[in-house]
């Protein structure tokens, strides 16, 4: 915490020095969303390059003065929270002054900019994300406040903790971790008691694009147990994008890649090649939209696809067919095909990439 306080004090000192010299104060932040500032490393995923380009948030420029003021306001809130050892979610911060911030996304961006500017992970700033992910299966742990959580015995999923860093005493006999893209599929596998039937496993879902806590938890599980991690996604560009976020990280959070990515993640399904192999009826597939075509083309150009020839092949199959499928398409074979046949066979015979 002293490191965080000192980093904030240095920023404020810089602002005061500018004022003392009758200069307009400026905050300098990295260009987080520029691909030119990102490098791909096999062992880490997408990470920010050391000498990346920056942008200035000036206090004397009409376009950025408001953002400058909001960043100072946020720095003051973080400083108070770190000093008093209290935490707030991004949502709490937004609702503390909705008129000032204007929207939740403004708060989210400013917090990420501050985290990147100070070179301090977001959770060390005492700002928590509102969790939307779920976890179930062979796992128990103790939360920071001493609450014992057992995911094994519940028929309903447990919410991913909002302070992943604080959890300890993780125990599990799981043989693998299964990341499921969608809540509906996750619930279906839960109803079918999947995590007990095949072999003990841990199931986790970020319910679409994962929030920070879900990604932190997947990383923590990997660090703790070093067991295989598989993903079950829709066979569409959006599903591939989500899987890449778990495996390689996202451009906007590349400055925190070391804590968030798990490069050993494997693509279990639903593979575009599975659709042909399982004779899925063309009528059950969904035609691409223009947006799907653009998304797929952009994924195919990414640096990490070049070192994944088997993934590349699957994306080419998808691009050629211009058809996509949701995991639910497997119910067209039989209602419990996913948990009874598809997943057990894939896991037994190594049907992942």
SS3 162: coil
pLDDT at 231 over 90: yes
What residues contact 345, with CB distance under 8 A and at least 6 apart?
351
What pTM did the predictor assign?
0.77
pLDDT at 323 over 90: no
Q: How confident is the model at residue 130 (pLDDT cuts 50, 70, 90)?
A: confident
- Residue pLDDT, tens place only, 44-82: 777 777 777 778 888 888 888 888 989 999 999 999 988
Please tell me which of 89-93, 122-126, 232-236 the model is most confident about, judged by mean pLDDT. 232-236
Query: Would you state the pLDDT for residue 165?
Result: 81
CA 213 to chain centroid, in Å, comes to 8
Helical H segments across 200-337, by residue range = 212-225, 237-248, 257-260, 272-277, 290-300, 303-306, 309-321, 337
The third-level CATH classification (topology) of the domain covering 2-128 is Arc Repressor Mutant, subunit A (1.10.10)
Strand partners, 26: 58
pLDDT at 41 over 90: no
- Residue pLDDT, tens place only, 168-216: 888 989 899 999 998 888 888 888 888 777 788 899 999 888 888 898 8
Dist. CA 88–CA 84, nearest whole Å: 12
Q: Which of 7-16, 175-184, 229-238, 326-335 has the lowest mean pLDDT?
A: 326-335
Query: Would you state the pLDDT for residue 256?
Result: 67
Please state the rounded mean pLDDT for residues 333-343.
83
CB 108 within 8 A of CB 90: yes
pLDDT at 132 over 70: yes
248 classed as catalytic: no
CATH for the 134-349 domain, from 3.30.420.40, 3.20.20.70, 3.40.1360.10, 3.30.2320.50: 3.40.1360.10
Cite the residue boundaries of each domain of the chain with CATH code 3.40.1360.10: 134-349
Q: Which of 87, 94, 95, 342 is catalytic?
A: 95
CB 218 within 8 A of CB 177: yes
Dist. CA 74–CA 266, nearest whole Å: 38
Cite the residue boundaries of each domain of the chain with CATH code 1.10.10.10: 2-128
């Amino acid at each position: 915490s002293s490191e965080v306080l000192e980093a904030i004090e240095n920023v404020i000192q810089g602002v005061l020095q500018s004022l003392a010299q009758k200069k307009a104060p400026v905050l300098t932040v990295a260009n987080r969303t520029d691909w030119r500032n990102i490098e791909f490393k096999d062992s880490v995923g997408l990470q920010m390059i050391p000498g990346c380009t920056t942008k200035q948030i000036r206090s004397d420029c009409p376009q950025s003065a408001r953002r400058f003021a909001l960043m100072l306001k946020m720095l003051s809130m973080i400083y108070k929270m770190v000093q008093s050892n209290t935490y707030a979610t991004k949502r709490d911060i937004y609702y503390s002054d909705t008129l000032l911030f204007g929207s939740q996304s403004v708060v989210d961006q400013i917090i990420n900019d501050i985290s990147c500017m100070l070179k301090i992970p977001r959770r060390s700033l005492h700002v928590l994300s509102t969790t939307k992910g779920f976890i179930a299966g062979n796992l128990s742990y103790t939360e920071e406040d001493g609450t014992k959580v057992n995911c094994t015995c519940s028929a309903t999923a447990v919410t991913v903790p909002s302070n992943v860093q604080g959890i300890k005493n993780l125990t599990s006999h799981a043989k693998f971790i299964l990341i499921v893209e969608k809540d509906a599929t996750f619930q279906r596998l839960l109803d079918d008691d999947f995590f007990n039937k095949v072999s003990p496993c841990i199931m986790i879902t970020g319910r679409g694009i994962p929030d920070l806590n879900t990604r932190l938890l997947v990383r923590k599980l990997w660090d703790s147990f070093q067991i295989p991690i598989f993903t079950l996604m829709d066979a569409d560009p959006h599903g591939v994008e989500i899987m890449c976020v778990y495996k390689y990280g996202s451009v906007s959070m590349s400055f925190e890649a070391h804590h968030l990515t798990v490069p050993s993640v494997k693509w279990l399904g639903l593979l575009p090649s599975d659709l042909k192999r399982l004779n899925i009826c063309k009528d059950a597939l969904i035609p691409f939209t223009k947006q799907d075509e653009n998304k797929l083309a952009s994924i195919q150009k990414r640096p990490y696809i070049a070192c994944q020839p088997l993934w590349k092949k699957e994306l080419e199959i998808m691009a050629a067919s211009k058809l996509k499928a949701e995991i639910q398409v497997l119910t067209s074979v039989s209602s419990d095909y996913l948990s009874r046949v598809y997943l057990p066979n894939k896991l037994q015979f190594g049907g992942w990439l």
